Structure 1
Amino acid sequence: MDIIRIDNLEVYAYHGVYDEEKEKGQYFYVNAELYTNTRKAGMNDDLDASTNYGTVCDFIHDFMTKHTYDLIETVAEQLAQALLLEFKLVKSVLLEIRKPHAPIEKEFESVSVEIERGWHEAFVAFGSNLGDKEKFIDEAIEALSNLPQINIVAISDKIVTEPYGNVEQDVFLNGVMKIETLLPADELLQILQKVEEHAGRERKIHWGPRTLDLDIIFYDDDIISEDDLIVPHPDMKNRDFVLKPLMQIAPYKLHPVYRKTISDMYAELMAKKQ
């Protein structure tokens, strides 16, 4: 990935915990590395194919002067998100906010916060087998698409599948969507659970009926093992209602644990069922 770098952009702004900092202000210095692809711009000498660093500098200055925060951690977090939402060619950003005049009664050069944020690729499986199944799914997709931190890239067909497990219940409507998101995996999970709750999801019976089910199948190529989140989804290799719609939108996606493509995993599952 190519880098557009901005060093020591000076901004006079009003961030700080103390009232004096908010009233009098002080100088801040911003270092930014914008990770993007400059190939097309470089080959065609076309500014429209690149990210204009002058416009980025103006954006950073305006953002930091129009907003006031107590913490430079908050300045960095909010500015990074704003940059990624505004400049569509930028995939990630390394951002440092320096504060050389922080109210510290010791000799020092500056204090700073440095963070790296960017867009992540995730695959989310959806399903429903209670009530108006298609309505629950469509409303969930719309709710996610309305969040600025989520871009829906592709959605599979909705397929009718038999229930998984030993609980007697109605057939499911299932599918998978590919998204880009600024949210870390744990925050994405929280958003998905809120959407499920809005649809009236109740967790009473394991593998039981539900108005809406949203599961993170992949998050980048990360391997996550937490109490409330395991990614890639641990049972996806046995679930044709996950693999079949994934085949539509990402047949060559490589499973980071099994090192097999979705196409290969689906073929193996179908062979087992014969």
Structure 2
Amino acid sequence: MDKIKISNLEVFCNHGVFKEENVLGQKFLVSAILYLDTREAGLTDNLEKSIHYGEICKYIENFMKKHTFKLIETAAEKISMNLLLNWDNLEQIDLEIKKPWAPIGIPIENVAVEISRKWHTAYIACGSNIGDKKKHLDDSIYALNQRETCRITKVSDFILTQPYGDVVQDDFLNGCLELKTILNPKELLTCLHEIENAEHRERIVKWGPRTLDLDIIFYDDLILADDDLIIPHIEMHKRDFVLKPLAQIIPYKRNPVNHKMVIEMLYDLQK
């Protein structure tokens, strides 16, 4: 991906743990690497197809001066998130904030915090088999899209499927969606649980009936195995109600674990 680099933007502002830092202020140096596709801008010589680095610098300066934080970690986090949310063609940012006058009582060139934040692509399976199933799915998609940190880019058709497991229950309405998000996997999981809870989801019986079920299937090409979250979804290759709608929107996406495309996994399941 292409990059625009901003090096050592000087900002005099009032961040720090000590009261004197908040009152007297000090110099900070901010550097940023902006990741985007500059191809069209380069071919057309059109600034609107790129990012106005002067506006980025002004935004960073104004933000640093307007707010007061104890930690430069907080300043870096909030600046990065706001830039990603407010500049449509910005895909990723690496941000560094240096504090040359850090009051630690011994000679030092500077103290710095450097972070990297980006838009991630996640694929979410959704299902419902209680009450107005379509409304539960529609409401969940709307609620997710209303989150500032989430942008739904594709939604599959909803399909009626038989329940998975041995519990006797009504048929499910299932679908999948593509999501751009700044949230990390655990934050995204919490977000999905909040939306499930708003639809009165109850976790009483495994694979039992539910008003709403939202599962992370893919998150970029991440492989993650924690006690409460496994990505890619460990059961996806066994579930046609996940693979069928997923194949509508990303048939050639490869599972980073078994290296099979979605359409291949669906074919294997149907053999």
Structure 2 CA distance for aligned equivalents of residues 139 and 68 of structure 1 = 38
Counterpart AA for 2:254? L
Partner of 2:146: 146
Instruction: For 1:243 and 1:204, locate their aligned partners in 2 and report how far apart those are by CA, in whole Å.
Output: 26
Structure 1 stretch 134-143 or stretch 70-79: which is displaced more?
134-143
1:222-269 deviation line (CA, Å, top 9, x unaligned): 110000000101111110100000111111111111111111111111
Paired letter, 2:199: A
Question: 1:237 and 1:188 mapped to 2: Cα distance?
Answer: 22
Q: Identity over the aligned pairs, expressed in percent? A: 52
Q: Secondary structure at the match of 1:164?
A: coil
- How many pairs were matched up? 271
4+ residue stretches of structure 1 with deviation over 2 A?
none
Give the gaps of 5 or more residues in structure 1: none
One-letter code of the match for 2:222?
Answer: D
SS of 1:27 mapped into structure 2 = strand
Q: Considering only aligned residues, what root-mean-square deviation do their CA atoms show, in Å?
A: 0.8
Q: Deviations over 1:7-40 (max 9, x none)?
A: 0001111111122111111111001000111111
Could you tell me which residue of structure 1 aligns to residue 191 of structure 2?
191
1:74 aligns with 2:54: no
Cα separation, 1, equivalents of 2:243 and 2:198: 27
Q: Name the counterpart of 1:228.
A: 228
- 1:107-118 alignment runs, 5 A limit: 107-118=107-118
The yes-or-no answer on 1:174 pairing with 2:161 is no
1:21 and 2:21 matched: yes
TM-score (norm 2): 0.98
User: Residue 95 of structure 2 corresponds to which residue in structure 1?
Assistant: 95
- What amino acid is the match of 2:234? P
Partner amino acid for 2:243?
L
Q: TM-score, normalised by structure 1?
A: 0.97
- 1:167-192 superposed Cα distances (whole Å, 9 cap, x missing partner): 00011010001001000011100111
Aligned equivalents of 1:171 and 1:50: distance in 2?
A: 48
Distance in 1 (alpha carbons) for counterparts of 2:20 and 2:211: 53
2-structure distance, mates of 1:26, 1:138: 50
Structure 1 position 103, deviation (Å):
1.5
Residues of 2 paired with 1:67 and 1:142: CA distance? 32
- Distance in 2 (CA, whole Å) between partners of 1:76 and 1:117 is 10
Partner of 1:242: 242
1:152, distance to aligned residue in structure 2 (A): 0.3
Partner amino acid, structure 2, of 1:74: T
1:90 Cα offset (Å): 1.2
| Structure 1 residues 123-177: Cα deviation after superposition (integer angstroms, max 9, x where no partner) | 0000011112112111111111111110101001111110000000011010001
Write the distance in 1 (CA, Å) between the matches of 2:174 and 2:67. Answer: 43
Q: How far apart are residue 96 of structure 1 and its match?
A: 0.3
Q: Distance in 1 between matches of 2:135 and 2:23?
A: 51
